[in-house]
Amino acid sequence: MEEPEKEMSELVIPSDLYVKPSAPKVHDANTSIDEAGFTHALKIFAPGTAIRTALDDLLRANMGALIVVDKEGLLKIVDGGFRVNCKFSAQRLVELAKMDGALILSEDLKKILYANTLLVPSAKIKTRETGTRHKAGERTSKQFKTIVIAISERKRKITLYYGDERYVL
């Protein structure tokens, strides 16, 4: 004979098998990159985002670029260039990337702050990169624990640096 179905309120889960689910950590525009970590940094550049659209457009145009997310103290290693301070858009980023030099975005990625800049991070910071753009990107990221994107014109690759982390998108 079949047992009658129990209602949900009648089900008892033994306490040694029950694990209270923890609330997932929610990251929003007000969450700093340091708090969120490398995984969050990757999500920022996911396909479909405005920044990723710009990166893909740069790749399709066979252009290289160095894009840095601003961090306190970063301007100490920035030489030359000019202040843009305009609202971020994929089209603006692509147009400004036509010039040599690094682009600096605001921490919240809502503004393009500087263009055509030269980054001069500490040469004492070890790097496994060989190209000038990628060396500067990796060293800047390590020195300031900030996000740096280097787009290789020749290899047609997008590399994300965040502190000691490196990931090819």
Q: Which two tokens stand for residue 40?
A: 């969050």
Q: Where are the beta strands (DSSP E) in the chain?
A: 65-69, 78-79, 82-87, 102-105, 111-119, 147-152, 157-162, 165-168
Please report the pLDDT score of residue 26 as a whole number.
35
Please report the pLDDT score of residue 29 as a whole number.
42
pLDDT tens, position by position, 102-141 = 999 999 999 999 999 999 999 999 999 999 999 999 999 9
pTM score: 0.77
Pick the CATH number of 35-168 from 3.40.1700.10, 3.60.15.10, 3.40.630.10, 3.30.70.20: 3.40.1700.10
CB-CB neighbours of 160 under 10 Å: 22
In the predicted structure, residue 3 carries a pLDDT above the cut 90: no
Please report the pLDDT score of residue 79 as a whole number.
96
pLDDT tens, position by position, 36-63 = 577 888 888 889 999 999 999 999 999 9
In the predicted structure, residue 153 carries a pLDDT above the cut 80: yes
Q: What are phi and psi of 161, to 5 degrees?
A: -115, 140
In the predicted structure, residue 98 carries a pLDDT above the cut 70: yes
Instruction: For residue 113, give Cα distances in angstroms to 50, 90, 104, 142.
Output: 17, 14, 6, 21
